[in-house]
A and B are shown apart, each in its own frame.
Chain A
Amino acid sequence: MFWTAATALLSHWRCRPIQFATLVFGLSLATALWSGVQAINAEARASYARAASVLDQNALTQLVPRDGNSIPQATFANLRRAGWNISPVIEGDHRFGNVRVRLIGIDPLTTPGKVGGFEPDGSNDLAAFVSQPGVLIVSQATALKLSSHTDMQIKIAPDIPDGAAFTDIGMAERILERRGELSRLVVAPDQRPDLPALDRLAPEIAIKPPGDRPDVAQLTDSFHLNLTAFGFLAFAVGLFIVYATIGLAFEQRRATFRTLRSLGVSLSSLTLLLMTELLVLAFLAGLVGVMIGYFVASLLLPGVAATLQGLYGASVPGTLTIRPEWWATGLVVAIAGTIGSSAQSLWQVRRMPLLTAAQPRAWARARAVGIRLQLLGGLVLLITSAILAVFGHGLSTGFAVLGCLLLGAALMLPGVLSAFLALLQRQSSHALVTWFWADTRQQLPGLSLALMALLLALAANIGVGTMVSSFRLTFIGWLDQRLAAELYLTARDENEASRLRAWLPAHSTSVLPIWSVEGDVLGDRLQIFGAAANDSTYRENWPLLLGTADVWDRVAAGQGALVNEQLWRGKKLSIGNELALPGGWSVPVVGIYSDYGNPRGQVIVGIDALAAHYPNVPKLRYGVRIAPADAPALKERMTSEFGLPAENVIDQASLKRQSRAVFDQTFAVTGALNVFTLGVAGFAMFSSLLTLSGVRLPQLAPVWAMGITRRDLALLEMLRTLALWLATFVVAVPVGLGLAWVLLSIVNVEAFGWRLPMRIFPTDWLVLGLVALAAAIVSVVIPLRRLATIGPSDLLRVFANER
């Protein structure tokens, strides 16, 4: 019996292959974008964990300096003598030519485990590792970059992250000029049970337990949350398609349900059959979706990797690994989405009385009633969004504001459009125009989900586009101010730097050292820069958000520090707060500066104070002020007289060009996701129009019979789609701007630590509008063609008495 009943139910799909394809493709698309984003997140997180385990050896307990400075060699020796089984590490950034790497010096004899798949004390040549010229263990990509910039032997190990290099601790000490100062100590898993307490032996050292989340994973949380939100938005838009298609398919099969039940198929059996049918469809569509998701992720991953590198300095490989967990998650999401989308339809089947007549338009009428409820629900959500925006705090609240705003606007859309169409209908006097508006209004319930999907996609595009463009404009303005020096140079070593410091003052207007140390400030590891604050360059160009009147004088005198916006917001600092700096000194905060693109906190002190408190600060980088017309000649002289490689002397224009290129690459993935979401919304519109065109004849045939040609009817259908598109677009603009405001004023501040002014870009909206218009026209072409070429016999069937 089951099989016979199932055959009757499944025959529906055989008669409506396009509807079947719409359902499967809609669900596949929704799953694809969701699982694609999840795949990217999983890959990135795995990469952070791998990097942390290799670079920071964070699976092991570590000993780190409490004040963020370094550990003296003597302390290490004391601990070893007391029986602690520990291994020293010296690490720091170093430039080999123009290639900057994180150099990690390890002791091959005491380091626990192997390094990135490379065992220095195993089959590899230990003698070569510890003796001149030394060995650098790096990834394949880093090896390619380094090969022409160092005499050291380069070996490739599989798990080393790009931009990092392991070497012998002696080599690292010499290259980084650390003179016996260790960065940290790695504690081996096997220790004597009767070890003397660390507090007594070395009170200046703290224990860092294993398993801490890598810093970069915490930093990038907000980015991955953004990505997940985008994936979810696309998934929700896709589910709209599924919901609409299942609803229509169930409505069209009402007569079959009634017949089956009158022939003795119980309600439970019918429900079971329908659920089985949906689950099988969901499973198949989910499989297809996960496969498409893999390709989507492969396409997006290089962009995401560039974004993560640009925003956070996080290294993620550009290729994707197939992970069973997101295959499983993708399938579960597809099935859960299908069950969620079909719950209402299944419930209606269960409540349908046996003798209810088939009502092909009943679903639309029922939804018309629902429009009023939706309007009310949407209003409640918008008010909630406003309340959360005013009184809420934190990243989660920011996303809640976003969610309520988007969902509220989407829910209100059909009601707003319905009211607007009713007004137009009342205003029109021509019969055909009156019918046009009235009929458009009647189509709303059937099209509302597609229109809501279109609104979400358009608003997301406008909102994210406004955010990115505002960011770009602010960033470029900021770059123009901040990159004031005409030339930026990097000496290859201290000797060369010393000679340049002596030579440059006579050949330039001024020389601005760009020196920095890393240290723990307010519990975070960040960079402390020195600024020649007496130089007018800073006073004239450095963009300050807040500051005392004498800010630069106080910085120059070593009596004040500037902090960047990220640190100011993150640590809730105020002007005048005392800032404890590594090395046991402190200065008051005298100013706040914007520092876009930098994920971490940063401090600027006077250059003399920096050099006095950190005498070992690397003094290799400088900004050089000179009349712009003389800059190329000076660059030429520095390369010819000092033998500096061209890439070590960068002019301002090149640096700005590089920064802009990095910025544009950074938001490439956002653009790609916008296009995908708009594509899904376009498909939602297409599928809705296509399914509606199948049930439109009873409404169109009487008008045709009264003397309106099929061509004119098709034209009116096109105008109807364009009118709805235009109305949705008009609503999407304020919603998108609201979204941009939330992103710029709430989410970005929480996620990145900086707040940007919002700029308006109407020409971008025009471009988006034209793209969406093209999508709307494409979506209506097939249904229109079907209508324009329909035979009179099909239209006459509407009037047939035996219908």
Chain B
Amino acid sequence: MLLSLRNVSKSYTTAEGRLEILKSIDFDLDAGESVALTGESGSGKSTLLHLAGGLDHPDTGQILSVGRDIAALEDQGRAEYRRTAVGLVFQQFNLIPSLDIGANISFHARLAGRHDPGWERELVQRLGIEPLLARYPDQLSGGQQQRVAIGRTLAARPPLVLADEPTGNLDEVTGDAVLDIMLSLTRSAGAALLMVTHSSRLAQRLDRRVHLHGGKIA
């Protein structure tokens, strides 16, 4: 088992009081598996993704990922986990605006100590972003930026890829193309993929679908 959540709960304090987002969630993800996480707005999809990625920590429960209990890790340990074990793809792309595309692609891999120029070259070719390497993020379209974000994630060869609505900012045709590339590359890299999406059509293309409702797996 690559990722395992046991009895995980998470709540936030809001102006209206305490809001329980996730309620005693149990969830498993195998290595190389791809899973779509669906549900209505506010159902807890992104929160679950953030907990799995070590971006946030649960109120209760255990999260075992890539052989470690990340819920028990301190800030330093979680940072190391994000650096070496997880790849994150966001709807807003979140590229680094001060670096050119070439530097963006290799950035995470360098941080993780897994810089492999040959693998990066192959990724760049397969993503079709070779001519864009010297440009900066704000000079690229949304589809191009998302392909760069996928390239950056996979260049670091993480065993777990977490994607939060990666095609949400893209039109249907571009979104499909980006998802094709992401599925193909994660499979060839042997990585597991957990993807949040609102789209049933896209969810069907993954190995498995998990639906969240009211903070629980339906």
Q: Contact residues of A with B, CB < 8 Å?
A: 361, 365, 430-432, 434-435, 438-439, 441-442, 698-699, 701-712, 792-793, 795-796, 798-803
Contacts and interface: CB of A to CB of B under 8 A. Distances in A.
B110 interface: yes
Interface string B98-111: 11000100111011
Contact of B83 (A361, A439, A707, A792): A707
A669 to B, nearest CB: 44
B12 A441 contact: no
Interface string B50-85: 100101110000000000000000011001111110
13 contacts: A431-B106, A438-B99, A701-B94, A702-B94, A705-B53, A706-B88, A793-B12, A793-B56, A796-B55, A799-B50, A801-B91, A801-B92, A802-B41
Contacts of A435: 96, 98-99, 103, 107
Interface residues of B, number: 38
A557 B153 CA distance: 96
A705 B88 contact: yes
- A-B pairs, top 10 by smallest CB distance, nearest first, are A707-B83, A431-B110, A442-B98, A438-B98, A707-B82, A702-B94, A709-B79, A801-B91, A439-B98, A707-B79
Contacts of B183: none
Interface string B133-150: 000001000000000000
A706 B99 contact: no
A799 B108 CA distance: 17
A428 to B, nearest CB: 11
B120 interface: no
Nearest to B149: A702
Contact of B56 (A434, A702, A792): A792
Given A431-B106, A793-B12, A801-B46, A707 B111 contact: yes
Given A701-B94, A707-B112, A801-B168, A431 B75 contact: no
Contacts of B53: 705
Nearest to A712: B79
A126 B110 CA distance: 98
Interface in B22-65: 41, 46, 50, 53, 55-57
- Most B CB within 10 A of own CB, among A431, A439, A795, A802: A431
A795 B88 CA distance: 14
A709 to B, nearest CB: 4
A432 B55 contact: no
Interface of B: 12, 41, 46, 50, 53, 55-57, 75-76, 79-84, 88, 90-92, 94-99, 103, 106-108, 110-112, 115, 138, 164-165, 168
Given A434-B99, A707-B79, 10 more contacts: A431-B111, A432-B111, A438-B96, A699-B98, A705-B82, A705-B88, A707-B82, A712-B79, A796-B50, A801-B165
Contact of B75 (A438, A699, A709): A709
- Most B CB within 10 A of own CB, among A361, A699, A703, A801: A801
Contacts of B92: 798-799, 801, 803
A792 B47 CA distance: 12
B94 A799 contact: yes
A711 B79 CA distance: 11
A427 B128 CA distance: 28
B115 to A, nearest CB: 8
B98 A792 contact: no
Nearest to B88: A705
Nearest to A801: B91
A803 B12 CA distance: 18
Contact of A706 (B12, B82, B97): B82
- Most B CB within 10 A of own CB, among A704, A706, A798: A706
A466 to B, nearest CB: 38
A699 B112 contact: no
Nearest to A437: B98
Contacts of B108: 706
Contact of A365 (B83, B95, B138): B138
Contacts of A800: 46
Contacts of B112: 707
Nearest to A711: B75
Given A707-B80, A793-B56, A799-B90, A442 B97 contact: yes
A709 B90 CA distance: 19
Contacts of A442: 97-98
A618 B94 CA distance: 88
Contacts of A795: 55
Contacts of B103: 431, 434-435, 438
A707 B81 CA distance: 7
Contacts of A699: 96-98
- Most B CB within 10 A of own CB, among A441, A698, A702, A796: A702
Nearest to A703: B96
Nearest to A429: B110
- Most B CB within 10 A of own CB, among A698, A705, A795: A705
Contacts of A439: 96, 98
A398 B87 CA distance: 62
Nearest to A798: B94
A99 to B, nearest CB: 70
Contacts of B106: 431
B55 to A, nearest CB: 6
B207 to A, nearest CB: 23
Contacts of B75: 709-711
Contacts of A798: 92, 94
A432 B76 CA distance: 16
A796 B92 CA distance: 12
A704 B108 CA distance: 11
Nearest to A792: B56
A703 B96 CA distance: 8
Contacts of A801: 46, 91-92, 164-165, 168
A699 B138 CA distance: 13
Contacts of A702: 94-96
Contact of B98 (A430, A441, A712): A441
Given A435-B99, A699-B96, A799-B90, A707 B84 contact: yes
B158 to A, nearest CB: 10
B138 to A, nearest CB: 7
A705 B111 CA distance: 12
Contacts of B91: 799, 801
A365 B110 CA distance: 27
A699 B111 CA distance: 16
A434 B80 CA distance: 20
Given A431-B106, A438-B103, A706 B55 contact: no
Given A792-B56, A801-B46, A361 B97 contact: yes
Contacts of B81: 707
Contacts of A706: 82-83, 88, 107-108, 111
Contacts of A709: 75-76, 79
Contacts of B50: 792, 796, 799
Nearest to A359: B138
B12 A431 contact: no
A434 B12 CA distance: 36
A708 B111 contact: yes
A796 B111 contact: no
A438 B96 CA distance: 10
A434 B57 CA distance: 30
Contacts of B107: 431, 435, 706
